[in-house]
Amino acid sequence: MTHRSPTLSRAVCALLLAVLSSLLLAPARAQGLVDSMRGPTPIPEQTKSPPIFPTENKDIRRTRNFAMQPPTIPHTIDGYQVDKEFNRCMFCHARTRTQETGAIPVSITHYQDRNGNMLADVSPRRYFCIQCHVAQADAKPLIGNNFVDVEQLLRRKPGVLGSTK
């Protein structure tokens, strides 16, 4: 039986670890330690912030792409206070204010609790509007979109990709 010294074993392990780590990190060093989320900017340098696009402010109703899709917000909401003390959206969209403001009233479903009981005021689970409804940036899409809604799918001729017949 051969006994190795613990110092020799540690030295061999340290050497193997150094060789393996240098092999694994060599590509990163060759590229300047670039994080894929940062693009080609090396880690010690700051990236350029992306532009902030203006919010669309057209006040037009957009067609929804699927059943039960929350409508998008067709106007700017910069500076709107929506917290437990006040909801700026309800200033115009509350059912009691829409005749005066000309805004579309909040859906009756927003006045129901989770058990379907009708409430006198907006349900707490529907109170924070921008968790479902979003304003639109006036920007060119980042990627193409080939979404087809269900009505278009149903109208396709048999044999066409995505046809239901």
Question: Between residues 35 and 59, which one has the greater pLDDT?
Answer: 59
Q: Across the chain, what does the average pLDDT equal?
A: 83
Distance CA 77, CA 88 (A): 9
Nearest to 74 by CA among 96, 101, 98, 55: 55
Query: What pLDDT, in 10s, does the model give residues 9-35?
Result: 888 888 888 887 777 765 555 555 555
Please list the residues that pair with 34 across neighbouring strands. 42
Please list the residues that pair with 55 across neighbouring strands. 137
Query: What pLDDT, in 10s, does the model give residues 98-136?
Result: 999 999 999 999 999 999 999 999 999 999 999 999 998
DSSP 3-state assignment of 135?
Answer: strand
Question: Between residues 136 and 2, which one has the greater pLDDT?
Answer: 136
Distance CA 29, CA 42 (A): 10
Q: What's the confidence (pLDDT) of residue 26?
A: 59
* Global confidence as pTM: 0.60
Taking residues 63-84, what's their average pLDDT? 89
Please list the residues that pair with 82 across neighbouring strands. 87
